[in-house]
Each structure stands twice: as structure tokens, then as C-alpha cells.
Structure 1
Amino acid sequence: MRKDPPFDTEFIYATYILERAEEKGTLIVNKPQSLRDCNEKLFTAWFSDLTPETLVTRNKAQLKAFWEKHSDIILKPLDGMGGASIFRVKEGDPNLGVIAETLTEHGHSLLHGAKLPASH
């Protein structure tokens, strides 16, 4: 079972039902609690030694500081899917402000990742 964002109450209810089915002997391959607990974008925080530096925030000052530190970052909404609203912002990009404002509309948080250098 995989739920495309936005994560909603119907998804939570489905995992509760799957837990009951598992208790009754039904083979459930992916633990329902794990489906709830392991958000696909945030779960990488448990493996920070394997990922680029990442920041989750809705604070524009923190975002700007992160961008100034790394100069080439990826911005993506936590509740997005299918590659929608993902932006790469490089050093000197004049659009950082409007991108941040658009993606944090309605108080939504963003996932910010430093762009990894190309491997050779």
C-alpha cells in the first residue's frame, strides 16, 4: 500500500483496518504502523550520513541561509508527488523569494536539500 500525498485521514483509517486484519491472521507485507510512521520524504533523516544536508522548514530566513551556504539547492513540498513543484535554485537565482513564497503558501513546510556534486 502506498499513499500519494496528501496524507489524509482515509489513509490512517486504512492502516488501522490493515492492523486488525493482520491480528486476525491476514498476511500483511508492509506493517501498517510503518506506513504511517515512515513518511517517504522525511524518513531519510534517519540516514543523514547517506544523504546531502537537508533542512525542513517554512521559515524563509532559514531557507535563505541554507541557500547561501550551499548555493545550489533543491526545493520540494513535503506533500507533493509526481515531481510537481520541485525547483532547483542555483547561486544568484533571482527567483528564490517567489519560489519560497509560493511553496510555503498556507503555512506548508518544504524539504530543502543541498545539490550533490556530479560524480565522475
Structure 2
Amino acid sequence: MLQECVGESVTMETLFNSTHNMFSEVYGFYLYTLSLSDYRTRGWPLVDSPVPTILYTTVYLFIVWLGPRLMKDRPPFRLTWALVPYNLAMAFLNFYIASEVRHSLQTHVDIGAIVPRHDSPVR
């Protein structure tokens, strides 16, 4: 049972109130940070909320931590058959992107036609 905390008698009501106040402040800060977001990206995955990004980062760190422990007593995978075609595809994709950027810069395409300017009023 809860006895005393810093010289005061702690009841369930005061514990509930302090916990509720803490979560209210955190939720208020969360809503404030969402109000600062760009209106054009609302509804986009991984941009609309920090939860998916935090979840994916946590899963990635867990896999990075767990992977070496699982593979400690096993031989390494042979992935040459997958890596060579993947690397070739990435090289061709990079060449295509670079040629498109070069073509766009040569034809003087206004970047505002591709990415709308951020002229929204203050939120």
C-alpha cells in the first residue's frame, strides 16, 4: 500500500490526479506539435504521426541487437544471387534519376510547378 511520499500522505485520488495531469500535459504537447505540421502532408504515412516512425525505429534497433546474437553460431548467408541484380537495378535507377534531373535543369522547369509553395496562413 502507498504510505507516504515526501512527507505527505498519498491517496489514490492524488496519485490519479497527478498521473492524469502528466498525461494531459504530454497529450497537449503532442497536439501542439501536430498543429505545427505542414497541412500538405496530413494523412501521409510516416508523416502524419510520430508513432509509426518510433515503432519502425524500435523494431529496427531490436533486429540490429538480436541479429548478431542469432547468427553467432551459424554460417553467413550467401546473398550474391540477390545483391548483384539489386545493385545493377539501383545503378540504372540512379542513372535515370540523374538524367531526369539534368533534363529538368536544362529546360528551366520552375520548381514551384513540381512542389507547391508553402503560402499557408499562420496556423
Q: Which protein has greater RCO, CA pairs closer than 8 Å, 6+ apart?
A: 1
Larger radius of gyration: 2
More strand by share: 1
- Shorter chain as denominator, the TM-score bin is under 0.3
Q: How does the TM-score come out when normalised to structure 1?
A: 0.26
